[in-house]
């Protein structure tokens, strides 16, 4: 079957599928898969089969076709198609409740070199990752992923993606609400504080700041009572983002300053990095260059202190979507730097690296 005939048969299958003749559509697409030598056509028909089996609830078959689609994308050596196929693989595992695998494949999508499809599919990758984190009850990570997906939806006027994210946020809210009920029944104050923080973050992400502020206040009250200073930092970070949304930048800076003091007391460098980054954006928008430079300097000092940089090239890890490699000795480098280095021992400690793992 040639390229033109492959296209015709794929279109025929789509018409049958759209007219609710699903089994006939599947039969047509399977014939294309058996007879077509056109790799691009085979990739497209595999995408149709993945979508159809997803909508029919046949998730094991969905996974089977997603795996074949990845092999086809690799044969074509097309980064856009590889991204699309990895996203289908992530979704398949999400449907099968293989949440750790879903997160791993989503990270692979985000780690691929910049592609044309990245702008279109990035929101869907974040949504799938958020659903996986929600399945693992990692509420804060889930919400961060959902917020990224919403930004993609708004930036690209993608109403369907926005609708899907809102549905996931509904599930998120229900799970947090159930967790709150359990926390109240058992008098679990730390869990109550976490749930209140999640509720506040949900309302902030929806733009409901009037509801978010009281939730942050309640969360802060419990965090202070139980002595959770890192939790207080997270609350103040959320409060600062609320003030930024209201264009009250001075109030946002007050919240950031309090959070920064707490983060330094605790010695939590990751929180300090987030706070310096947020301060940078505020001072940049206010045009205050001296304060901006001070926070840029502190940001890079924190990066150095946490050793979040490649020991070979010296660049910060995470500034770009570069693949990383962890050696058995636990030192981490850019994969490309290790490949160019041409040695099997760790550049830092000189220990032999036998079976490195990917991050």
Following DSSP, what letter does each residue of 70-95 receive, concatenated?
A: HHHHHHHT-HHHHHHHHHHHHHHHHH
What was the pLDDT predicted at 330?
62
What was the pLDDT predicted at 359?
38
88 close to 94: Cβ distance less than 8 angstroms:
no
Two tokens at 238?
Answer: 């959320």
């840029």: which residue's tokens? 296
What was the pLDDT predicted at 198?
87
What was the pLDDT predicted at 88?
92
Cα–Cα distances (Å) from 253 to 69, 247, 282, 339, in that order, read 49, 11, 8, 43
Residue 296's Cβ-side half-sphere holds a number of Cα atoms within 13 Å equal to 9
What was the pLDDT predicted at 214?
93
**CA–CA gap between residue 349 and residue 32 (Å, rounded):** 54
Crossing angle for the helix pair 116-135 and 79-95, to the nearest 10 degrees: 20
Cα–Cα distances (Å) from 355 to 3, 313, 325, 328, 335, in that order, read 43, 22, 10, 7, 13
Residue ranges of the chain whose pLDDT lies below 70: 113-119, 306-309, 316-323, 326, 328-330, 342-344, 349-359
Which segments of the chain are extended strands (E)?
A: 324-326, 332-334, 357-358
Closest CA to 315 of 332, 339, 291: 332
Closest CA to 9 of 228, 25, 37, 237: 25
What was the pLDDT predicted at 18?
87
Cα angle: 299, vertex 270, 355; to 5 degrees:
110
Two tokens at 296?
Answer: 């840029």
């046949």: which residue's tokens? 58
Q: What is the pTM of this model?
A: 0.65
């Amino acid at each position: 079957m040639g390229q033109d005939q492959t296209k015709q048969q794929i279109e025929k299958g789509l018409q049958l599928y759209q007219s609710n003749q699903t089994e006939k559509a599947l039969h047509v697409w399977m014939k294309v898969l058996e007879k077509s030598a056109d790799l691009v056509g085979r990739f497209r028909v595999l995408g149709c089969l993945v979508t159809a089996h997803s909508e029919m609830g046949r998730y094991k078959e969905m996974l089977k076709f997603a795996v074949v689609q990845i092999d086809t994308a690799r044969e074509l050596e097309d980064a856009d198609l590889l991204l699309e196929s990895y996203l289908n693989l992530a979704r398949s595992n999400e449907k099968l409740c293989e949440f750790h695998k879903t997160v791993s494949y989503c990270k692979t999508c985000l780690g691929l070199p910049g592609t044309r499809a990245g702008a279109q599919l990035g929101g869907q990758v974040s949504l799938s990752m958020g659903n996986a984190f929600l399945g693992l009850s990692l509420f804060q990570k889930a919400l961060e992923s959902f917020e990224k997906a919403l930004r993609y939806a708004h930036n690209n006027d993608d109403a369907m993606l926005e609708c899907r994210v809102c549905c996931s946020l509904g599930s998120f809210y229900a799970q947090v609400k159930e967790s709150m009920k359990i926390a109240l029944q058992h008098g679990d104050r730390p869990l109550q504080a976490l749930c209140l923080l999640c509720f506040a973050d949900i309302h902030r992400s929806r733009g409901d700041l009037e509801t978010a502020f009281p939730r942050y206040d309640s969360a802060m009250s419990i965090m202070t009572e139980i002595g959770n200073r890192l939790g207080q930092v997270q609350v103040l970070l959320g409060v600062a983002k609320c003030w930024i949304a209201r264009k009250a930048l001075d109030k946002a800076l007050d919240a950031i300053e309090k959070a920064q003091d707490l983060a330094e007391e605790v010695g939590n460098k990751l929180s300090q990095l987030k706070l310096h980054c947020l301060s940078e954006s505020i001072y940049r928008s206010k045009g205050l260059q001296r304060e901006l430079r001070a926070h840029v300097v502190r940001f890079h000092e924190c990066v150095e202190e946490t050793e979040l940089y490649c020991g070979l090239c010296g660049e910060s890890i995470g500034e770009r979507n570069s693949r990383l490699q962890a050696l058995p000795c636990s030192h981490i480098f850019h994969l490309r730097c290790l490949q160019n280095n041409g040695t099997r021992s760790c550049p830092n400690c000189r220990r032999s690296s036998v079976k490195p793992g990917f991050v």
